[in-house]
Amino acid sequence: MFTIFLLFIMTTRKQTPSEFLKQIIGRPVVVKLNSGVDYRGVLACLDGYMNIVLEQTEEYVSGELKNKYGDAFIRGNNVLYISTQRKKI
Amino acid sequence: MSTTTGTVPTVGAPTSTTTTSTASSSGVSGEGVHHHVQSASQIANVAQLLPLELVDKCIGSRIHVIMKTDKEIVGNLLGFDDYVNMVLDDVTEFETTQDGGSRITKLDQILLNGNHIAMLVPGGEGPNMGGVGDQR
């Protein structure tokens, strides 16, 4: 019973991360890696493994800008989180 | 919904070990998650709370995520998936090392990779919020 209930919940909930991923394409994002390095750029595309392609990327190590890349590919296993940036008015 | 409030429930569906591997998922992380629904005693304990049910109850409320490293994240839980990748809102990130203790507040939404989550605390407010904390 509970298995079925939980399966139902999980199938409806399963959409949330993949929905999120579809919504944020094209937005400026912050990608933090396990190592703590931060990358800010415009999200070009990504996939279910959290592999990410960023454009106009800036690399922040310990809060300091270290590098700028035109295009950057990040392998998904390194990704800690992907965050969108809300524009403050 | 099955909220059995009864005596000895003779449940029709066998509650032995069932492996429900949810394949055909989006494969967000490389790992597969197998849910073993195993009742220790098949007589009592029908109303057990599964871990993911608990997480599901948290949706819409504040949750405190503790990572395997010295990092904690607090936010509103919007959703999660089979691998407990989580979508959070209004997020504050805490580095709980002895020297740092930095708080990085991010707004909007984040997708947190479930690979590195160690613990989830429903309704938690994060480390050292509230004043009565140990001082190092």
ipTM metric: 0.79
How far is the alpha carbon of A56 from chain B, nearest alpha carbon, in Å? 20
Place of tokens 């990410």: A52
> Do A73 and A57 meet the contact criterion of CB atoms below 8 Å apart?
no
Task: Work out the average pLDDT over A18-32.
Answer: 90
The pair of structure tokens assigned to B84 is 């407990």
pTM, two decimal places: 0.68
How far is the alpha carbon of A55 from chain B, nearest alpha carbon, in Å? 19
Q: Mutate which of B5, B89, B113 to test chain A, going by most A C-beta atoms within 10 A?
A: B113
Q: How far apart are CA A27 and CA A76, in angstroms?
A: 18
Residue B33 has pLDDT above 80, yes or no: no
Which pLDDT score is estimated for A68? 77
Residue B26 has pLDDT above 60, yes or no: no
Residue A89 has pLDDT above 50, yes or no: no
Chain B residues whose CB is inside 8 A of the A62 CB are none
Residue B62 has pLDDT above 90, yes or no: yes
Q: Chain B: residue nearest A47 by CA?
A: B28
Taking alpha carbons only, the member of B66, B68, B112, B70 closest to residue B88 is B112
Each residue's pLDDT tens digit, A26-83: 999 999 999 989 999 999 998 888 899 999 998 888 777 777 778 899 999 999 999 9
Which pLDDT score is estimated for B65? 94
The domains located in chain A, with CATH, are 5-84 (2.30.30.100)
The pair of structure tokens assigned to B135 is 């001082």
Each residue's pLDDT tens digit, B75-132: 999 999 989 999 999 999 888 777 667 778 787 889 999 999 999 999 877 776 544 4
Is A36 strand, coil or helix? coil
Answer whether B86 sits within 8 Å of A17, measured CB to CB. Answer: yes
